[in-house]
Amino acid sequence: MNEKALNQLTKARIDMIMLQPFFGTLALRLSLVEDPSCPTLWVDGKRIGYNPEFVLTLTHELTVAAVAHEVGHCIFDHISRRGPRNAQKWNRAGDYVINAMLNDAGFTIGESWLYDPAFAGMSADAVYNLLPDQPDDGGNPLCDIRQSEPDPKQIDEWKMATAQAANAARAAGKLSKDLERFVGEILNPKADWRTVLRRFCVEENKDDYSWMRPNKRYIGAGFYIPSLHSHGMGELVVAVNLSGVEFKRGNLVDSVTHTLARTGLPPTCLELELTESMLMHDVENVISTLQRLKALGVRLSIDDFGTGYSCLSYLTRFDVDTLKIDQSFVRQLHQGDEHAAIIRAVIQMAHSLNLATIAEGVEDAEVLTFLRAHACDQAQGYFFSRPLPAETFAEFVRQHVAIPAPNA
């Protein structure tokens, strides 16, 4: 056994406990195994295998980062999540994710390690889908992830240990905001939302619930499932709020086009929500931008409708699909007839323009009954559900069937 390499790794783990207690505490769960047959390092959830000659080429800072790197694969469970995917490509995807996390946490990243800031905050699943089958980045994986069969006990033990390590680091004032976010994702595991959405809409498309083919009246932010007897599963739409800053940058169409191409999300499954005030600045340029977005197949909605200062004559020129009735009107529905009159007027106007309507802020059955009676197409609010993580939302959709409005 090469004592020098072992001592170098041991010192790195000890120093990491003092400087990066979150990673240092978790590193103690992994025993060190010398393995001259591997080119660099490997991890299997219980052990770190290392080539002593490779270890001796590392500085102390890089040795610390390398040990933390192996810990990262364990806390993200890259070991059992590979499945039938290409092993080399999965290793590279996992390395990109871990190295981005370590860079954000203040570790030193080796020059030849796989690192791309564009992958920061992404899951290994999402990065895997973006990587070519044949590497073209010139780098090499630091780690060989030794796949094992999913072990629920080991997975649960790592989650518990991760929570305990985070608590200890937090108490010591050494859990950064970036690490806090990563820990939250680990303890409440979510695939990248684009991956979950694509998997739910495409890869896991089953006939458990069939959706009516959507049109402007029956699709918007959220989802709409009129019955169990329809024409096959339609589109599940994800709605994204746009800020005025994003709109003013001038590259919104290019950004949306790139995102759709990168994620594989069908354009009809994306709805962009804009506020009235956002639309009324530089109207001609706004209309041109909206037309280009519509040409992509993206859906458009006006959020918080009724609270801005738009001119109604522009509605037909904006070519939007949906008006979202602001929650200030919906929540005050009990307080006077004037709010009910506003809601009825918006619904009638929208339908005359062949637009869908969504009422925001629905919190009780009485309000929902009023909206249904006046043919509001959709509703959203805490009456249906609080905000949900992606994987919980997918299960929610599978188990619930929305009740259509009376005129549907």
The H-or-E segment that residue 171 falls in is helix 152-171
d(CA 385, CA 150): 32
Amino acid of residue 126:
A
d(CA 102, CA 179): 9
Q: What is the pLDDT along the chain (408 residues), one digit of tens a residue?
A: 899 999 999 999 988 888 898 998 899 889 999 999 999 999 988 899 999 999 999 999 999 999 999 999 988 888 888 878 888 899 899 999 999 989 888 899 998 899 988 888 788 888 898 888 877 666 667 767 776 665 677 777 888 888 888 888 887 788 877 777 777 766 665 445 455 455 455 444 444 433 334 444 433 333 333 333 333 444 567 888 887 777 777 788 888 888 887 777 788 888 998 877 777 777 788 888 888 888 888 899 988 786 655 556 667 777 888 889 888 888 888 777 788 888 999 999 988 888 899 998 888 888 888 998 898 988 888 887 777 776 676 666 666 544 444 444
Angle value at C-alpha 385, between 379 and 387, nearest 5 degrees = 105
3-state secondary structure of 378: strand
3-state secondary structure 307-349: CCCCCHHHHHHHCCCEEEECHHHHHCHHHCHHHHHHHHHHHHH
d(CA 84, CA 82): 6
The H-or-E segment that residue 275 falls in is strand 270-275
Structure tokens at 181: 């976010």
Q: Is 134 exposed, middle or buried (0-12, 13-18, 19+ CB in 10 A)?
A: exposed
pLDDT at 311: 55
d(CA 9, CA 67): 8
Give the neighbor-by-neighbor strand order of the sheet with 238-241.
238-241, 270-275, 299-305, 322-325, 356-359, 378-379
Q: What is the pLDDT of residues 228-287, one digit of tens each?
A: 333 344 456 788 888 777 777 778 888 888 888 777 778 888 899 887 777 777 778 888
Residue 146 CA, chain-centre distance (Å), reads 27
List, as one string, the DSSP characters of 112-125.
TS---GGGTT--HH
d(CA 68, CA 12): 9
DSSP symbol at 57: T
pLDDT at 120: 81
Structure tokens at 106: 């203040």
Q: What is the pLDDT of residues 325-350, one digit of tens each?
A: 888 888 888 777 788 888 999 999 98
Structure tokens at 82: 């590979």
DSSP symbol at 237: B
Q: Is 85 exposed, middle or buried (0-12, 13-18, 19+ CB in 10 A)?
A: middle
Residue 129 CA, chain-centre distance (Å), reads 15
* CB distance 124 to 147 below 8 Å: no
3-state secondary structure 140-164: CCCEEECCCCCCHHHHHHHHHHHHH
In the block, tokens 């009724």 appear at 306
Give the closest residue to 41 by CA, choosing from 194, 143, 161. 143
pLDDT at 397: 66
Structure tokens at 51: 């080539």
